[in-house]
Chains A and B, each alone.
Chain A
Amino acid sequence: MPRDNRIPIEPDAAARVRDLHAMVREARTRLTDPTVESLEACRSLLEEAVNAIGKLQESLPSREPWRDRDLAAALGALRTEIAAVQILLDGAAAFYTGWMRLASSMASGYTADGNPAPSETTPRVLLEV
């Protein structure tokens, strides 16, 4: 029997990947305004996605290879989305790193080897009653 004609053992796997994709898309949207709070929300969405794909993987047959074009397309789209999340995450990190280098140099000048001197921050404790 040709491999392409096999009936997937997990018929709604593609739909599950699409749900998971929606989660990652939501994480991507949050990264357009990368505050610490939105990063926290993003992390929790990604964690949920990791758990979901782990469960999906367990439900798939592992001994013999099989094909499901719908699932393959959904997974391909998911990987594109994950790559976009990575780009936005790295973009925010690069910005903060660059900004802090600049801010440190403005506040504390440069070290002898030409790097921005670390800025001294005042330790603070916020007590909410």
Chain B
Amino acid sequence: MGGLFSALNSSAGAMDAFQRVLDTIQSNVANASTPGYASQSIPLEALPMNSTGTLPGGVTTGEMQSARDEFAEQNVRQQFSALGTLEQTSQSLSNLQLAFNVSSDSGIPGALNQLFQNFSSWSVTPGDGAAQQAVIDSAQQVAQSFQQAAQTLAQDSSDTGQQIQQTVTQINSLASQLQADNQQVIQGGSNAGLDAQIHATLEQLSEYADITATTQPDGTVTVLLGGQTPLVIGTNQFNISVSFTTPANAPATVAGGAAPARLIDAQGNDVTAQVSQGQLAGELNIYNNVLPSLAGNAYQQGDLNLMAQSVADRINQILTSGNISAGPPPVPGVPLFTYTAGNPTSVARTLAVSSTITPDQLAAIDPGPPSVSNGTALHLAALANPQSAADEINGFSYAEFYGNVAAGIGTQAQDASNQLNVQQQTLAQARNLRSQISGVSLNDEAAQLVQFQSAYDANSKMVSVLDELTQATIDMLK
């Protein structure tokens, strides 16, 4: 009888074991598309048996193992962060590219072209009221186009500032969710569903910023921002915030310039430099570096303001060194442009044509000696193709300088777009690699690595030869 009971017990145990395996498979199938879910597996283990029947044998289940591997998860999160940076950068630069058109028919280059042409027409008939009026009208167009560009940049800056604020709020909200999940883990609620939820949240968080997540022995997840700043440790959450102030250790060097955006941790430390990836890093880069290089901030004047000031100052200088009438006594010229002094970052925004100037106050006469009746008008017309450093910005004509700025934005936008394209595939690769290593034994992995190494070497050699040959062909075209 003992043998029969043993056999029945063993069969019942096996049935139970198989049922648990089936349940797990069912759960895997049901959660196949659940974000963050990793398939679970239960190993079946043989029970000892002997012929006397004291050890009945049979099968039982071992501990449930998660196929997820943190190494692969972290790799996916890193790629998510890189994607977040590029998505943000690419989008912001595309918007800027629209505002800074390289075409000479519109915007700043178009208006400047027209002004130089009108200077040229005026130099032919310096006393002609219509030619003088045309100069003033086109000067107004120049001022307006600078104002519009400055306004666009100011709007972009304001939008990006708000985005940074929203991203920080989102990061804190996701951290709070993870803190609540940790609480549940500690209270013994750890299960595949909660695990999936935690990993989905971590993936979401990684798109906003580069985070490091480590699972502690008690099952809770510790999340660090940029590998250093704690966001969640156990059941404690550490909020980050954003401050738009200049730091005490780096005071403003440009009067009136806007302060940079700084990321502040829960202890009040500036942790901006720690965020190098993710949407937040992209936004901070646009706000603190890209936009200020054009519109200026507390540390730089910005190319747009530099150009507006150079154009206005040079034209004013030439006009005021000339005479409206030869006299006697000679009547000196008056400035054409005005802008708010004292804030180098507001020149483009406040550039305007002097409200008091009238067409007949444009000084065409170069007092010399010898005096030339259209000397200043000729000099102003020659600004289109400058011959001296005083008529240039850093060695470039005004049109060239603008072209370089616009081309710089265009190149950055193109690079970001290309990188984004590759990054989308790198993320897909990371996801595939994650599934490749799931549930594979170490032996299989080691064997696979040897094969991979050899395949990598062969591919790498091929890429290198192909690149060299392509470059050589390009060189043949030069």
Query: Does A15 belong to the interface (CB within 8 Å)?
Result: no
- Whole-angstrom distance between the Cβ of B252 and the nearest chain A Cβ: 39
Could you say which interface size class chain A belongs to? 35 or more
Q: Are B426 and A88 in contact (CB under 8 A)?
A: yes
A121 at the B interface (CB under 8 A): yes
Knowing A31-B429, A46-B462, A50-B466, say if A107 contacts B452 (CB, 8 Å). Answer: no
Quick check: B442 and A33 within 8 Å, CB to CB?
Answer: no
Evaluate contact between B428 and A40: CB separation under 8 angstroms: no
Q: Which residues of A contact B469 (CB under 8 A)?
A: 50, 53-54, 57
B425 proximity list for chain A (CB < 8 A): 28-29, 31-32, 84, 88
Q: A60 — which chain B residues lie within 8 A by C-beta?
A: 473, 476
Nearest-Cβ distance from residue B144 to partner chain A, whole angstroms: 37
Q: Is A49 an interface residue (CB 8 A)?
A: yes
Q: A33-B429, A98-B71 are in contact. Are A84 and B422 (CB under 8 A)?
A: yes
Given A32-B429, A46-B463, A89-B463, check contact A75 B474 (CB 8 Å). yes
Is B33 located at the chain interface by the 8 A CB criterion?
A: no
A46 to B464, CA, bound (A): 10
Bound CA span A33–B437, Å: 12
Bound Cα distance A79, B453 (Å):
24
B433 interfacial contact with A, CB 8 Å? yes
What's the Cα separation between A78 and B477 when bound, in Å? Answer: 15
Specify the chain B residue showing the minimal Cβ separation from A80: B418
Contact check, B474 vs A91: say whether CB atoms are below 8 A apart: no
Report Cα–Cα, A107/B106, bound state, in Å. 66
A35 cross-chain contacts in B, Cβ below 8 A: 436
The answer, among A75, A82, A84, A100, for a CB contact under 8 Å with B445, is A100
Cβ–Cβ contact B449 & A96, under 8 A: yes
B422 x A88 contact (CB < 8 A): yes
> Hey, which chain A residues are within 8 Å of B452, CB to CB?
34, 36, 39, 92-93, 96
The answer to whether the Cβ of A111 comes within 8 Å of any Cβ in the partner chain is no
Alpha-carbon separation in the docked complex, A35 to B448 (Å)? 9
- Name the interface residues of A53-91: CB closer than 8 Å to any CB of B: 53-54, 56-57, 60, 62, 65-68, 71-72, 75-76, 78-80, 82-89, 91
Among residues of A, the one whose C-beta sits closest to the C-beta of B75 is A95
Q: How far is the CB of A78 from chain B (nearest CB, A)?
A: 6
Contact pick for B449, options A82, A100, A122, CB 8 Å: A100
CA distance A7 to B253 in the complex (A): 57
Question: Given A43-B455, A102-B71: A53 and B466 within 8 A (CB)?
Answer: yes
**Contact B474 A50, beta carbon cutoff 8 Å:** no
With known contacts A75-B474, A121-B443, A32–B462 Cβ distance under 8 A: no
Residue A12 is within 8 A (CB to CB) of chain B in the complex? no
- The answer to whether B445 touches A99, judged by C-beta atoms less than 8 angstroms apart, is yes
Write out the residue numbers on chain A whose beta carbons fall within 8 Å of the beta carbon of B443: 121-122, 124
- Contact (Cβ within 8 A) B466 A100: no
Contact status B428-A32, CB under 8 Å: yes
Residue-wise interface mask of B (457-471) relative to A, using a CB-CB cutoff of 8 A (1 in contact, 0 not): 011101101110111
Q: How far is the CA of A85 from the CA of B426 in the complex (A)?
A: 10
Establish whether residues A78 and B422, one from each chain, have CB atoms under 8 Å apart when the complex forms: no
Chain B residue at minimum C-beta to C-beta distance from A102: B71
Name the interface residues of B426-457: CB closer than 8 Å to any CB of A. 426, 428-430, 432-433, 436-437, 442-443, 445-449, 451-453, 455-456
Which residues of the other chain, B, contact A67 by a CB distance below 8 angstroms?
477
25 A-B pairs within 8 Å (CB atoms) are namely A24-B466, A31-B429, A32-B425, A33-B428, A33-B429, A34-B433, A35-B436, A39-B455, A40-B455, A46-B462, A53-B473, A57-B469, A72-B474, A75-B477, A76-B474, A79-B471, A79-B474, A82-B466, A83-B467, A85-B463, A88-B426, A88-B429, A89-B459, A100-B449, A103-B446
Interface residues of B (CB under 8 A from A): 69, 71-72, 75, 418, 421-422, 425-426, 428-430, 432-433, 436-437, 442-443, 445-449, 451-453, 455-456, 458-460, 462-463, 465-467, 469-474, 476-478
Given A62-B476, A71-B477; 4 other pairs, CB 8 A cutoff = A34-B432, A50-B462, A75-B473, A76-B474
